[in-house]
Amino acid sequence: MTDIQLIILYSLLAGSTIFLGGILSHYFGDHVKKGLVKSEIIHGSTAFGGGILIAAVGLVLVPEGMQAFTLIPIILCFSAGSLFFFFVDRYMEKNGGTMAQLLGMLSDFVPEAIAMGAVFSSNPTLGVLLAVIIAIQNLPESFNAFIDLRTRYSTRKSLFILFLLSLSGLGSALAGYYFLADKPMAVGGLMLFSSGGIIYLIFQDIAPMSKLKKNWIPALGASLGFLVGMIGVQVLA
């Protein structure tokens, strides 16, 4: 298979877990009875998604991004991402709610998909590694993003949004391959920018949502999520 065919295949597979996570979240919400166990699962999955986001930042986005820059550009890119998502989060809250889970998912999915496309021609192994990590990350993140979306939209519209977003990885990967393959600083800057935004979202919105009063089990989900990221990087590196 050619590089383009592999990029199309892996980006579609990586993005497909966004829609799958939404479907699982929908059936979970409809068919699992309310109670402590359901609350633990919802809060645990939120923490798990947060842990995976931290793993994405700590193990992929920041290490890869920092290779392209010296200290000052690193500070500027990361800070710009934090401030951008701060203003986006404030705007969305003033207009009826938060979409932290959805924003968090997109802020690591899109730059990682771009990076996957950008590195495929020179380092196919890293490209495959990124595709697998993206697929693993997207599942719990989209599970939680569907819950966010259902606060604003119908089930059908929420799933349709996730379906469209599942295809965004294809465009991102192709854009990375055609336009950024020889521009490591642009890819690195995007990764650091996204990292700043993800860290803001985790501590402002996602971590507080994962806490369940007088229950400590959901917090273990964050550790498990980070561990999954570590396993993925170690096994596939």
Closest CA to 195 of 91, 77, 113, 92: 77
Q: What pLDDT was estimated at residue 3?
A: 84
Q: What pLDDT was estimated at residue 210?
A: 67
Closest CA to 24 of 134, 114, 158, 128: 158
Interatomic CA distance for residues 174 and 191, integer angstroms? 17
Give the contacts of 146 (CB within 8 A, at least 6 positions apart).
21, 22, 25, 26, 158, 159, 162
Q: What pLDDT was estimated at residue 33?
A: 66
Q: What pLDDT was estimated at residue 96?
A: 59
Q: What pLDDT was estimated at residue 73?
A: 94
Q: What pLDDT was estimated at residue 18?
A: 92
Q: What pLDDT was estimated at residue 98?
A: 57
Token pair 């200290």: residue? 71
Token pair 């798990």: residue? 48
> Could you give the number of structural domains in the chain?
1
Interatomic CA distance for residues 20 and 138, integer angstroms? 9
For the chain of 237 residues, list the mean pLDDT of each consecutive stretch of 10: 88 92 85 68 77 83 88 94 85 67 78 84 78 81 84 89 92 91 88 87 73 73 82 71
What is the span of the domain harbouring residue 188? 3-30+38-236
C-alpha distance from residue 177 to each of 38, 128, 164, 180, 183 (Å): 42, 14, 21, 6, 10
pTM for this model (two decimals)? 0.78
C-alpha distance from residue 115 to each of 48, 84, 174, 236 (Å): 24, 21, 10, 16
DSSP 8-state class, residue 215: B
Q: Using alpha carbons only, what angle is made at residue 169 by residues 22 and 137, rounded to the nearest 5 degrees?
A: 50
